[in-house]
């Protein structure tokens, strides 16, 4: 008998991926590797001093999934009056995998190196590429694995000083809107999210406990930065239990985190410009940006 949840997820994914990629207005490099680039989308209404939304794409940190699939979402935000920066980063590790299995998730430490470098250089790159962007009003958003990276980027000041990614003070962000994020690595591993992608991101299960404190948003609390999670109740890719585990950890750390649960919504409508859920995401970003 067909699984209705899987059928619904397939329909939602097909809709989200049906939109053609949207070319950016400008692209800037933040490093020498071909993946170390940021695409910029100007606000379509020509607004001056528009808040800057940083977008981090998902795809389980795996190499086949790049920023092209989220460009319609970036364009959607630009049409809502935002300046948008869509960050690419290195994905896909070098661990040996049995033939016929999916690509390895992420690279340690390159994936984190890239996000840290991009975030540090972004205000200057944005001022050059999008002179109308207001870099004093930055909101970071990301979907799925990109939601993890968005939460992590906002928590680097919580890292211990021995980390190369440590910031001495909180980054200057208005907030984070994480969309169906892989926000708690322990919960994600227990649920088998994306085929064990979190352990792969950390370099394999043998490194999980050692590296998790440097990479897991649930271990990097409190941040002191306004944080909203948007999650579909019927998401079977990154189940709501992962988001709820993160919000529980935040509450224990004394930090309020808002969790917006959307009825009859799965994983992909959050970045699908044709879906009502995408408009909800834009509204959450607007509340933080203004």
Q: What is the pLDDT of residue 2?
A: 57
Q: Is the distance from CB of 224 to CB of 170 less than 8 angstroms?
A: yes
Residue 86 bridge partners (DSSP): 39, 55
Tokens of 235: 């998401």
Q: Which residues are CB-neighbours of 105 under 8 A, at least 6 positions away?
A: 60, 61, 62, 91, 92, 93, 145, 194, 195, 197, 198, 200, 201
E strand or H helix at 117: helix 110-129
User: Parallel, antiparallel, or unpaired: how do β-strands 83-87 and 50-56 relate?
Assistant: parallel
Computed from CA positions of residues 272, 14, 182, 159, in that sequence, does the dihedral angle turn out positive or negative? negative
In terms of Cα–Cα distance, which of 55, 53, 126 is closest to 88? 55
* pLDDT, tens digit, 9 for 90 and up, residues 18-72: 999 999 999 999 999 999 999 999 999 877 899 999 999 999 999 999 999 999 9
Distance between CA 223 and CA 45 in Å, rounded? 33
CA of residue 124 relative to chain centroid, distance: 21
d(CA 30, CA 119): 9
CA gap 198, 184 in Å, rounded: 9
DSSP string for residues in 4-36: HHHHHHHHHHHHHTTSPP---SEEEESSSSTT-
What is the H or E stretch that residue 262 is in?
A: strand 258-262
| pTM beyond 0.85 | yes
157-215: per-residue pLDDT in tens? 999 999 999 999 999 999 999 999 999 999 999 999 999 999 999 999 999 999 999 99
Contacts of 160 (CB under 8 A, 6+ apart): 166, 213
- In angstroms and rounded to an integer, the radius of gyration of the C-alpha atoms of the chain is 18
Per-residue pLDDT reduced to its tens digit, 217-258: 999 999 999 999 999 999 999 999 999 999 999 999 999 999
The arithmetic mean of pLDDT across residues 134-139, rounded, is 97
Residues 226/257, Cβ–Cβ less than 8 Å: no
């Amino acid at each position: 008998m067909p699984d209705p949840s899987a059928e619904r997820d397939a329909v939602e994914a097909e809709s989200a991926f049906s939109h053609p990629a949207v070319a950016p207005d400008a692209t800037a490099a933040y490093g020498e590797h071909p993946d170390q680039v940021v695409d910029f989308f100007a606000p379509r209404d020509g607004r001056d001093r528009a808040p800057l939304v940083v977008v981090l794409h998902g795809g389980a940190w795996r190499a086949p999934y790049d920023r092209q699939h989220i460009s319609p979402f970036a364009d959607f935000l630009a049409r809502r009056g935002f300046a948008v920066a869509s960050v690419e980063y290195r994905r896909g590790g070098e661990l040996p995998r049995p033939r016929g299995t999916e690509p390895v998730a992420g690279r340690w430490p390159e994936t984190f190196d890239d996000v840290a470098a991009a975030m540090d250089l972004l205000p200057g790159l944005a001022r050059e590429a999008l002179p109308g962007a207001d870099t004093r009003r930055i909101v970071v958003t990301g979907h799925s694995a990109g939601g993890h990276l968005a939460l992590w980027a906002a928590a680097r000041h919580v890292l211990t000083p021995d980390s190369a990614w440590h910031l001495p003070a909180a980054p200057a962000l208005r907030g984070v809107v994480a969309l169906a994020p892989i926000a708690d690595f322990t919960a994600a591993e227990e649920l088998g999210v994306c085929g064990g992608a979190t352990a792969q991101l950390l370099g394999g299960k043998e490194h999980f406990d050692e590296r998790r404190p440097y990479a897991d948003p649930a271990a990097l609390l409190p941040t002191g930065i306004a944080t909203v999670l948007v999650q579909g109740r019927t998401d079977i890719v990154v189940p709501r239990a992962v988001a709820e585990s993160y919000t529980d950890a935040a509450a224990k750390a004394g930090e309020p985190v808002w969790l917006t649960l959307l009825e009859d919504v799965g994983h992909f409508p959050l970045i699908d410009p044709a879906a009502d859920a995408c408009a909800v995401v834009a509204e959450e970003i607007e509340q933080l940006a203004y």
